[in-house]
Structure 1
Amino acid sequence: MTQNILTDSQELETWLDEFMAEQMDKLQIPGVTFSLVQNSELFLAKGYGYANLEQQIPVSADRTLFRVGSISKLFTATAIMQLVEKGLINLHENVNKYLKKFQIEDNYPQAVTIANLLTHTAGFDDRLVNLLTLEADNLQPLEEHLAAKMPARVIPPRNIMSYSNYGYALLGYIVELLSGITFSQYVDENILKPLEMHHSSFEQASHLTDDVSIGYRYRKQKDTYQALSFQYVSILPAGSLSATATDMAKFAIAHLQYGKYKSQRILDETTARQMQQQQFTHDPRLPGWCYGFGESLANKQRVIYHAGGLPGFLSLLYLFPSHNLGLFISNNGRGNLMRSLIEQFCDRYFPVYFNFPNHIRFYFLPHGRYVLAAG
């Protein structure tokens, strides 16, 4: 067990309360949900503000579902790695081997592999059109949508990391083909239930719908909040998950524990470690991409993460594997308080100290600026 970075939940909560009060007012955000885990346990979970302004329904960390957008892709990647463990998928196999009703264009010598899809290096000319619809009746079966909306291949595989919603939808479709059930069923049976994520779902019309927060847009000229209509994600595996903060904490624990949650395992340790290793980078000196997770550095700490956004929602899952610590945050407005939260959190709990020779003086200036002076 790693040494605890945080030792006092009340101290964290006091700091977080002050941060949220300032940032939510500054950025006009109606509601926020938050959870933090450390050493396999939930350290703090809390809701702020409102999930529904009109009805004055407060955000509850263990009841209110937020639409987490592309964080959904981590569940898709986890499902793929489960099938790798079962010997049903080869990460370096041509994707076309798994497709039955349509095929990816064969216009480069190098084939697109499962690993390329997981690391966003397939070379698709991805599009943002046709991803959302206001009417559930407009949703097509995943197979039909992917066959009709396939983007062109414009870059040879593994040359450039280019974020691809289509690529992750294709991974989810392969999960359907190999499991024989729908993607949402597969995730529910093989990830959500083992992790006791009972208040989360990829289904966009389910028994949990009434607990999903409303997304809002702040209208500055009128100083009012506009409630946004629910928009259906046409490619479920890339972004349709709705989840509570406490459920996302369980998913974080499972990955920080390399596949284990309580007595359950969603991945073998070797597979989970492989999933969290850097699999692609544009330069060895830079962070890159793992299988599902992005990679970053924060105050000299290696972080794996995924962010997500849908109309009226922004979300972030942020894990520190070497410290067995992770946090999840989501808000129901488009103001982005996450960057400030991460910066202030890391400065507070992972401070970076500078050592200078005695003749060098370090002067702080307003707004985080500083100067170095000799003498």
Structure 2
Amino acid sequence: MKPILKYLKNIFAAKRVLVDDTQLSGLVNADFLLQELIKHNKAPGIAITVLKDGKSIFQKGYGYADLEQKQFIHPKKTIFRIASVSKPVAATALAYMVQDGLIDIDESFYTYLPDYPKKEWDFTIRHLASHTAGIRVYKGKEYGLNEPLSIKEGLDIFKNDPLVYEPGTEYLYNSFDWVMISAAMQEASGIPFEEYVQEKVLNPLGMKNTCIPKSHSDLNQRQTGEDVNFISTSEKQDLVTKFYTKGITGFRKAIPVDNFYKLAGGGYLSSSEDIAKFGQAFLDKKVEISEEILNQFLTSQQVEGNSTYYGLGWQVSEDAKGRKFFGHVGNGVGGYANFFVYPEEQLVFSILINCTDPKIQQELDAVINCFFDEIDS
């Protein structure tokens, strides 16, 4: 049996470590810790929404959406890059497609894209969604690519490379898996991926501040601007944060990137309130997907008898105190996100930051732990 250390090193799959602070408690402590992050220049801006039993118990903005203009973060309206928190959104659309019989997650990927270059082994949609297909990770500057690629054009980045391992034998987290899934979804449904997500997920759940990056020429030709939320064709552009990267001397503007081709894996933008609303929809059973199908997406996959702490597009794990959650961590150029749903405690956490990984996950876990102190007191 292979060791599972490689899985535990993965930030998206490993158990999160919660830190206690006994000097303060509950909501006051959470507020204090978040203020400290801004005060000590650990993050340019933070928006947080916490729901308990479907009601907002804490919602606040910290720091700036624009450091130069001193534009404050608005917890309801400010729009951030949510990076890999896009995956649960895409996974929900995929689950609808499975329910509607348009895609079989245990069917070969080649059933939907027969022209994709053949590899040494076959692999399924499930392999891709669980990051066990053997697709490689980013190379070189691919993480910060700034080219106006369509989803299908995005496949050209990696499609000619061999699989890293035989599908189903290992776990390797990457966003290319979801570029492939979104391409398959388009072929299976006959409509653009972003339109399907808008129709099946965003509109029904009232996620009005969840947007896609600026439109491309091919999108304009389809004339879908009235149906899909484009940040460049609406007043939402004024609500989008500036994107930053943290360096030794402080924060600087992040490099320009075009994330449209990897929309499903890390391209969406949203507000803290919208992401919390999305999580609450699962607790309230407003996501009209059968329990049987949802369980497949929200159950950690196994590799050689070991948990990957990852379902199908969802991180599925427990924290250091044994509390079970599902959700996702997101890290992209100019954006960092925490999205966690604790079903037993009926808690939803949505924390968005306008900076590439600011290295404060431990502090964010401490903030989250404050709310358990509050409900336990």
- Structure 1: gaps (5+ residues): 1-10, 352-375
What's the C-alpha RMSD, in Å, of the aligned pairs? 2.3
Is 1:214 equivalent to 2:242 in the alignment?
Answer: yes
Which residue of the other structure, out of 353, 358, 368, is the alignment partner of 1:345?
A: 368
**Residues 314 and 336, structure 1, Cα contact 8 Å, conserved in 2:** no
**Residues 191 and 266, structure 1, Cα contact 8 Å, conserved in 2:** no
**Residues 122 and 157, structure 1, Cα contact 8 Å, conserved in 2:** yes
Q: SS at 2:142's partner residue? A: coil
Could you tell me the TM-score, scaled by structure 2's length? Answer: 0.80
1:291-310 map, 5 Å: 291-298=312-319, 299-310=321-332
> Which structure is higher in strand share?
1
**Residues 184 and 201, structure 1, Cα contact 8 Å, conserved in 2:** no
Q: In the alignment, which residue of structure 2 is the partner of 1:142? A: 151
Counterpart code for 2:279: A
Deviation at 1:306, TM superposition (A): 1.0
Which residue of the other structure, out of 130, 142, 149, is the alignment partner of 1:130?
A: 142
CA radius of gyration, larger in: 1
Is 1:181 equivalent to 2:191 in the alignment?
Answer: yes
Question: Partners in 2 of 1:28 and 1:148 — Cα distance?
Answer: 34
Is 1:329 equivalent to 2:345 in the alignment?
Answer: no
Deviation at 1:199, TM superposition (A): 0.9
Instruction: Give the share of equivalent positions with the same residue, in percent.
Output: 24
**Residues 102 and 189, structure 2, Cα contact 8 Å, conserved in 1:** no
1:64-83 map, 5 Å: 64-83=78-97
Q: In the alignment, which residue of structure 2 is the partner of 1:273? A: 295
Change in Cα spacing, 1:133 to 1:147, as seen in structure 2 (3 Å) is closer
**Residues 24 and 30, structure 1, Cα contact 8 Å, conserved in 2:** yes
Counterpart code for 2:74: S
**Residues 194 and 266, structure 1, Cα contact 8 Å, conserved in 2:** no
**Residues 61 and 245, structure 1, Cα contact 8 Å, conserved in 2:** yes
Deviation at 1:12, TM superposition (A): 4.7
Change in Cα spacing, 1:232 to 1:37, as seen in structure 2 (3 Å) is same
1:219-368 map, 5 Å: 219-221=247-249, 224-233=250-259, 234-257=261-284, 260-261=285-286, 265-281=287-303, 283-284=305-306, 286=307, 288-298=309-319, 299-333=321-355, 334-346=357-369, 349=372
1:18-73 CA-partner distances (Å, limit 9, x unpaired): 01121223353111011112223333221111101111111011110010111111
Q: SS at 2:344's partner residue? A: helix
Deviation at 1:114, TM superposition (A): 0.9
1:336-366 CA-partner distances (Å, limit 9, x unpaired): 3232221453376269xxxxxxxxxxxxxxx
Which residue of the other structure, out of 118, 124, 132, is the alignment partner of 1:105?
A: 118
Could you tell me the TM-score, scaled by structure 1's length? Answer: 0.80
- Structure 2: gaps (5+ residues): 1-24, 216-230
Counterpart code for 1:57: Q
Q: In the alignment, which residue of structure 2 is the partner of 1:360? A: none
How many residues of Structure 1 are paired with residues of Structure 2 in the alignment?
A: 328
Deviation at 1:225, TM superposition (A): 3.1
Question: Partners in 1 of 2:117 and 2:94 — Cα distance?
Answer: 19
Query: Which stretch has the larger CA shift, 268-277 or 117-126?
Result: 268-277
